[in-house]
Structure 1
Amino acid sequence: LLFLTQHRIFFRSFVGSRGATQAVLTFLLIPCCLTQEFRAPPFIPNVSFLWGWNAPTELCAQKFNVQLDLNLFSLIGSPRKSATGQGITLFYADRLGYYPHIDEKTGKNVNGGIPQSGNLKKHLEKAKKDIAYYIQTDSIGLAVIDWENWRPVWARNWKPKDIYKHQSIELVQQQHIELNVTEATKIAKADFEKAGKCFMQETLKLGKSLRPNYLWGYYLFPDCYNHNYKKPDYNGSCSDLEKKRNDELNWIWKESTALFPSIYLNTILKSSPYAALYVRNRVWEAIRVSQVSSVKHPLPIFVYARPVFTDVSLKYLSEQSCTELDNYMKNTLNPYIINVTLAAKMCNQVLCQEQGVCIRKHWNSNDYLHLNPDNFAIQLEKSGRYTVQGKPTLEDLQQFSKQFYCSCYADVRYMRWCFKKKLLAVNFG
């Protein structure tokens, strides 16, 4: 019998004569750890599958008295400018120092416009104050810098971001009137990338020094621009060119303490098999990049996802949308979170002895960590808490072993394959 007060889950299961919530099974050939591959240890102790909520949905309660149930989310943060002291802090361009950029609506230069015209010293002085304001205590949390106006790799600033290229070239031509366009472009590229690197790298260093218990990184990094899903032969793969460009950003991966890629899905991908291909390849590229600094100590990855398909990046919440979101979370999203979390916990115990996480043997397969619907049922009670009824069978656990393997946490001391016959207790506490 398990009652998780924080998560409001009530687990009714195969309770034995002593009331122990566990399945004691004989399981053969249990792989404990695969030495060649590692994962970052849990950011929050004993939470191997962490869910975060980073949306301004507090407006639903404030404006329409619609109280969303966020008890299943370990980290919660609103992107609103007035929000401070949160588990997830999102730093937009106007909230962290003097980020040089060109206003996309007015076309005016802000803080110098292009990074080589920005003032790094003043930026860091202001950023120090902003960090102290938005993250008032150094507890634990995520610090996500959302700078999207320009990209640090010159070649990735295609329309409409090519204005940064044009201004950079014009600046060089003003300083060196004797240069032709080709010569000026070469210098402009080097100047732009050097200055962009300084702003991004030094901002990360500052954040880590001031709030070391937060994990710091940039939203949308890494990206691999695999958006060509309108092509009939689309397979979701990240091109070799974009992987190479990500390799040029090794200085970001080495300075970051977390990665924050995005898997937002447009409506064109609704009910499309391309959606899974799009997501898997983006996450797989993030896993590759996470190992740049150290294969044995990879960066943790927090994937940004939306619970809906949408083509609109900014959409204000109405009373109807709040009510629809509340119903969706109660009846679809939260039960699914419980399903995946318990399945992952079960698999981690069986294959990893809780010293790692279960990973697909074939990363691009349709194998998922789900509870067997024939053996488990998740229900929402009138009290607002969820009940989980059922127990795993030996076949369920063997299915995990067929489809998944264990990737050890980076801090596990003894990393080896161990095949042994033993009594295995699967605990859900």
Structure 2
Amino acid sequence: MRPFSPEDILVAIPESDFSGLAVIDWEAWRPRWAFNWGTKDIYRQHSRALVRGQHPDWPAPRVEATARDQFQEAAKAWMAGTLKLGEAMRPRGLWGFYGFPDCYNYDFLSPNYTGQCPPGIGAQNDQLGWLWGQSRALYPSIYMPAELEGTGKGQMYVRHRVGEAFRMAMSVGDPSLPVLPYAQIFYDKTNRFLPLDELEHSLGESAAQGAAGVVLWVSWENTKTKESCQAIKEYVDTTLGPFILNMTSGALLCSQALCSGHGRCARRPSHPEALLILNPASFSIQLTRGGRPLTLQGALSLEDQMQMAVDFQCRCYRGWKGARCEQQGM
């Protein structure tokens, strides 16, 4: 495992004033010993073997504890060091690791599935405070597993994955830390597009919790042919584009109406189904031909604003405070 070097960052991000997303996609192993199951268990096996070779007379429990501690300290040094290097060289970048934090809420087949992170996961994530504190953004994955298609469980799955990221931001005392989930327009590892209700369950759920945005990822497997690219264009023109215009407009208008334009609307816990979707009685989206932009027509009614105030509260941008983010100051 070679540490990142300044040359790596200069090659990847040559612009000295870069201010975009700086995402490190590292999936070989996980920084918590307990999370390295399945194919990643080989790292635990080799860690034990290393300690056992150095101390052949040690009992198994001591070998296990030492191997765990050494592994986790090395993981911390590598990951935190990588973030520090990136931030030193490109200080305006939103540095973070793809897929962190994770919720590991994959027990879809359980008849009592709630989407909540399994017992013990939250406590393990709490031990990664050094990672959340060093990150300049959090990038949880909300790729929709194919097993969830048609189950009605997608929103529960996404809700707790995004919610865990916000919980980690709060745990390090930085509620304004940007959360930018990674999402796809297909069910994961398939060529089946997400229907409108699943866009609401993924992109819409993220926006309703106050995400700073969403990173849309498309695998090269879904873009290998002219036909697949044309299908994506049709989906963007007819389904994804209108939905994103609706959702982002709802988020912007809510920010202006409730948060003085200085914060994001975040759903109140008492209204878990609320989304930042515009009222169709107040707004319409006009499809256009010839590749021209979609147009949004309408305005928030007094009733719309009152409903937003019932469903949402403000999460202020850094440097603003107050119930309506109307006051400057940390």
Tell me the TM-score normalized by structure 2. 0.84
**Backbone CA RMSD of aligned residues:** 2.0
CA contact (8 A) 1:360 1:404 kept: yes
User: Percent identical across equivalent pairs?
Assistant: 40
Structure with the higher fraction of residues in strand conformation: 1
Structure 1 residue aligned with 2:14: 136
Query: Equivalences for 1:44-193 in 2 at 5 Å?
Result: 100=1, 123-124=3-4, 127-137=5-15, 138-193=17-72
Query: Equivalences for 1:280-299 in 2 at 5 Å?
Result: 280-295=159-174, 298-299=176-177
Secondary structure, counterpart of 1:170 in structure 2: helix
CA deviation profile, 1:188-246 (whole Å, cap 9, x unmatched): 11111111111111111100001001110100110110111110101111234101000
CA contact (8 A) 2:176 2:316 kept: no
Query: Equivalences for 1:271-286 in 2 at 5 Å?
Result: 271-286=150-165
CA contact (8 A) 2:116 2:160 kept: yes
Which amino acid letter does the alignment assign opposite residue 136 of structure 1?
P
In structure 2, what is the Cα distance between the partners aligned to 1:418 and 1:290?
Answer: 19
Structure with the higher fraction of residues in helix conformation: 2
Structure 1 residue aligned with 2:187: 309
Secondary structure, counterpart of 2:265 in structure 1: strand
CA contact (8 A) 1:221 1:260 kept: yes
Q: Give the CA deviation at 1:396.
A: 1.7
CA contact (8 A) 2:282 2:299 kept: yes
In structure 1, what is the Cα distance between the partners aligned to 2:53 and 2:72?
Answer: 19
Secondary structure, counterpart of 1:161 in structure 2: helix
The structure that has the greater radius of gyration is: 1
CA contact (8 A) 2:285 2:296 kept: yes
Q: Which structure's relative contact order is higher, taking Cα pairs within 8 Å and 6+ residues apart?
A: 1
CA contact (8 A) 2:176 2:315 kept: no
Q: 1:233 to 1:199 in 2, by over 3 A?
A: same
Query: Equivalences for 1:397-416 in 2 at 5 Å?
Result: 397-412=305-320, 415-416=322-323
Query: Equivalences for 1:135-284 in 2 at 5 Å?
Result: 135-137=13-15, 138-284=17-163
Q: Which runs of 4+ in 1 moved over 4 A?
A: 416-419
Tell me the TM-score normalized by structure 1. 0.65
In structure 1, what is the Cα distance between the partners aligned to 2:222 and 2:144?
Answer: 18
2:269 counterpart of 1:386: no
Q: Which runs of 5+ in 1 are unaligned?
A: 1-99, 101-110, 112-122, 420-429
Q: 1:149 to 1:418 in 2, by over 3 A?
A: closer
Give the length in aligned residue pairs. Answer: 295
Secondary structure, counterpart of 2:10 in structure 1: helix
In structure 1, what is the Cα distance between the partners aligned to 2:248 and 2:220?
Answer: 29
CA contact (8 A) 2:139 2:182 kept: yes
In structure 2, what is the Cα distance between the partners aligned to 1:363 and 1:220?
Answer: 28
CA contact (8 A) 1:254 1:292 kept: no
Q: Which runs of 5+ in 2 are unaligned?
A: 191-218
